[in-house]
C-alpha cells in the first residue's frame, strides 16, 4: 500500500492490498489516510487477501477484525479478501481509473464496468 497518497479519492472505490504487514501497520496506514481526509468521500474499499498480515499465529485477533473495527461507523461498503495483488487464487488485475461497481449482500460483487485499454 502506498504510504503517501496525493490523489483525490472522492467518488472512488479504493483498492488496498499488502503482504506480510502487521495489523498495527495496516491500522497506522489507514489512520494516515483518514487524517489526511482521503477517506471522506470514497464510495467503497476493497481489500485484497492481505496474505500473512499478522504479528504471530496466536495474536488473538485478525486483520479483518482490525479493519472492521476501524470502519465500524462508515456507510460505504467494504469487501475483504478480494483476489488481487499478492494472492493464493488467480490474480484479478484491477487497473487504475476505470469505472467499477461494488455491492455487498448475499452475493457480494466487485466488477469493472469498462475496459482498461482499447485497441483500434
* CATH code of the domain covering residue 52: 3.50.30.60
Determine if the pTM surpasses 0.75.
yes
Say which residue the cell 492481505 belongs to. Answer: 50
- Range with the lowest mean pLDDT among 78-82, 85-89, 116-120? 116-120
Residue 68 is assigned to a structural domain of this protein: yes
Say which residue the cell 495496516 belongs to. Answer: 26
C-alpha 41: how far from chain center: 15
Residue 80 is assigned to a structural domain of this protein: yes
- Range with the lowest mean pLDDT among 17-21, 35-39, 55-59, 96-100? 55-59
Name the E strands within the chain: 13-16, 44-48, 78-82, 100-103, 109-112
pLDDT higher for 5 or 17? 17
Count up the domains in the chain and report the number: 1
Residue 70 is assigned to a structural domain of this protein: yes
Residue 79 is assigned to a structural domain of this protein: yes
Residue 40 is assigned to a structural domain of this protein: yes
Residue 21 is assigned to a structural domain of this protein: yes
Range of the domain at 82: 13-91
Residue 83 is assigned to a structural domain of this protein: yes
Amino acid at each position: 500500500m502506498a504510504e503517501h497518497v496525493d490523489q483525490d479519492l472522492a467518488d472512488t472505490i479504493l483498492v488496498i492490498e499488502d503482504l506480510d504487514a502487521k495489523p498495527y501497520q495496516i491500522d497506522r496506514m489507514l489512520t494516515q489516510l483518514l487524517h489526511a481526509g482521503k477517506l471522506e468521500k470514497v464510495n467503497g474499499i476493497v481489500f485484497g487477501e492481505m496474505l500473512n498480515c499478522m504479528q504471530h499465529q496466536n495474536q488473538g485477533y485478525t486483520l479483518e477484525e482490525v479493519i472492521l473495527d476501524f470502519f465500524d461507523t462508515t456507510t460505504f461498503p467494504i469487501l475483504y479478501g478480494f483476489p488481487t495483488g499478492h494472492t493464493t487464487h488467480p490474480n484479478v488485475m484491477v487497473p487504475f481509473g476505470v469505472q467499477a461497481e461494488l455491492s455487498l449482500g448475499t452475493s457480494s460483487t466487485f466488477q469493472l464496468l469498462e475496459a482498461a485499454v482499447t485497441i483500434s
